């Protein structure tokens, strides 16, 4: 008796996406199902190229179909199509961008820009289309951390993002010299931020990461009110004084109905490169405790790392310099959790 498509789809219903809590058939992941005698082929289309479980899901799908009588061969191709998750009721100012993520911190000095660069390079490494916008008008650091010195071109009255390491970049730091002080009042800052968003030809992006200035001031409020954000990631360090500011950051975004996608604890510990002894310089575990208290995801902890600091100074992110390093793997794990969290929004 010939194998039917219904038979194959019923077999695949046992394969559950653990993040979305549904089977791959109900989620619409199975595409281009083809049956030629005992040979079965189909596409498993996931919601993000950064899915941390794609190999497990592929293996589970193959095994489920192999259990059908008469099946001699199974070929599964894994692809992805990132779904847009953005706040409703906002003007459509970036129609080609599927997800806009604010990377924020309650205070300065927590390494937020380093985390932002690490997440951007990690998401890009999975094959996602990624943009990175530096909204810190007074202290833009992305040009240095990404090693960009050239100025963007203008075409059709739009700034063309500078592309580096597979990421589309924009910063006010690309447009002014490093030694030019900006003595601007609030309205001028807000206008500059809005132009960096709307007057840039971002094109089609799966994820646009916005590196926000520290604190809960005008820039954060303007972005949350005018930009259809997917959500915000809060970066902190473990000590109590930093965690107090996390509370302010979470409260601000929640009052503006911006989902908190998670907390990242940076400078979580120092791992000695000579003896592998772990030293918790700034205490430890505060970020995870805050996530539990506020019932938001804890995305992970990033240790102090000399290569990451050096890479930020010379413009070569750690994941580009050494993609197999422990630090790079941590950034990839956090990026995968972030992508999975975005995919599960609204489900």
Is there a single domain that holds both residue 145 and residue 45? no
89 — alpha (psi -120 to 50), left (phi > 0) or beta? left
Among 161-170, 174-183, 263-272, 310-319, which stretch is predicted with the lowest mean pLDDT?
A: 174-183
Per-residue model confidence (pLDDT) at position 238: 86
Q: Are residues 66 and 116 in the same domain?
A: no
| Contact predicate 334/302, CB 8 Å | yes
Question: pLDDT tens, 54-86?
Answer: 999 999 999 999 999 999 999 999 999 998 887
CB 320 within 8 A of CB 121: yes
209 and 332, same structural domain? yes
Kindly state whether residues 43 and 120 are assigned to the same domain.
no
Could you tell me if 108 and 55 lie in one domain? no
The enclosing domain of 33 has a CATH number of 3.30.300.130
* Listed residue (189, 178, 266) closest to 220, CA to CA: 189
Stated pTM of the model: 0.89
Same domain, 182 and 253: yes
* Mean pLDDT value of segment 264-270: 90
**Residue 76: domain span:** 5-80
Query: Looking at the structure, do residues 260 and 318 belong to the same domain, yes or no?
Result: yes
Which one is predicted more confidently, 20 or 25? 25
Average pLDDT, the chain: 87
d(CA 232, CA 164): 24
In degrees rounded to 5, what are phi and psi of residue 313? -75, -35
Residue 296: inside a domain, yes or no? Answer: yes
Which of 51, 73, 237, 60 lies closest to 128 in space, CA to CA?
51
Give the CA angle between residues 321, 197, 139 to the nearest 5°: 60
Alpha-carbon distance of 7 to 30, in angstroms, equals: 13
Number of domains within the chain: 2
CB 312 within 8 A of CB 319: no
pLDDT digits (tens, 9 = 90+) for 221-257: 777 777 889 999 999 988 776 677 788 888 888 888 8
- Domain shared by 72 and 134, yes or no: no
Residue found under tokens 């995870």 = 288
Mark whether 212 and 76 lie in a shared domain: no
Residue 273 has pLDDT above 80, yes or no: no
Show which of 48, 80, 112 is a domain's final residue. 80
pLDDT at 8: 96
In angstroms, what CA-CA distances link 330 with 57, 150, 167, 273, 284? 22, 31, 19, 16, 17
**138 within a domain of the structure (yes/no):** yes
Contact 133, 57 (CB under 8 A): no
On whether both 69 and 177 belong to a single domain, the answer is: no
């Amino acid at each position: 008796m010939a194998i039917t498509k219904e038979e194959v789809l019923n077999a695949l219903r046992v394969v559950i996406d653990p993040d979305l809590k549904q089977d791959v058939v109900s989620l619409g992941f199975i595409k281009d199902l083809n049956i030629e005698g005992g040979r079965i082929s189909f596409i498993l289309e996931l919601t993000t190229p950064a899915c941390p479980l794609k190999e497990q899901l592929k293996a589970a799908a193959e095994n489920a179909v192999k259990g059908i009588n008469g099946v001699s061969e199974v070929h599964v191709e894994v692809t992805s199509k990132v779904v847009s998750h953005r706040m409703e009721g906002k003007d459509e100012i970036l129609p080609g961008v599927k997800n806009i993520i604010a990377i924020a911190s309650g205070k300065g000095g927590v390494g937020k820009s380093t985390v932002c660069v690490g997440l951007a390079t990690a998401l890009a490494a999975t094959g996602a289309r990624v943009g990175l916008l530096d909204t810190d008008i007074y202290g833009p650091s992305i040009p240095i951390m990404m090693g960009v010195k050239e100025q963007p071109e203008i075409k059709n009255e739009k700034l063309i993002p500078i592309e580096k390491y597979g990421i589309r970049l924009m910063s006010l730091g690309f447009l002014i010299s490093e030694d030019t002080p900006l003595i601007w009042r609030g309205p001028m800052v807000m206008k500059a931020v809005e132009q960096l968003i709307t007057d840039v030809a971002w094109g089609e992006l799966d994820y646009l990461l916005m590196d926000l200035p520290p604190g809960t001031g005008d820039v954060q409020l303007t972005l949350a009110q005018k930009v259809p954000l997917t959500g915000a990631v809060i970066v902190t360090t473990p000590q109590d004084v930093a965690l107090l500011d996390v509370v302010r950051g979470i409260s601000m975004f929640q009052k503006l109905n911006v989902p908190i996608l998670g907390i990242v604890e940076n400078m979580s510990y120092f791992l000695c490169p000579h003896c592998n002894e772990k030293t918790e310089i700034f205490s430890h575990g505060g970020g995870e405790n805050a996530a539990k208290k506020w019932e938001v995801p804890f995305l992970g902890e990033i240790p102090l790392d000399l290569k990451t600091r050096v890479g930020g100074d010379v413009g070569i992110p750690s994941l580009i310099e050494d993609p197999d390093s422990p630090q790079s793997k941590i950034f990839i794990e956090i990026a995968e959790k972030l992508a999975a969290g975005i995919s599960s929004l609204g489900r």
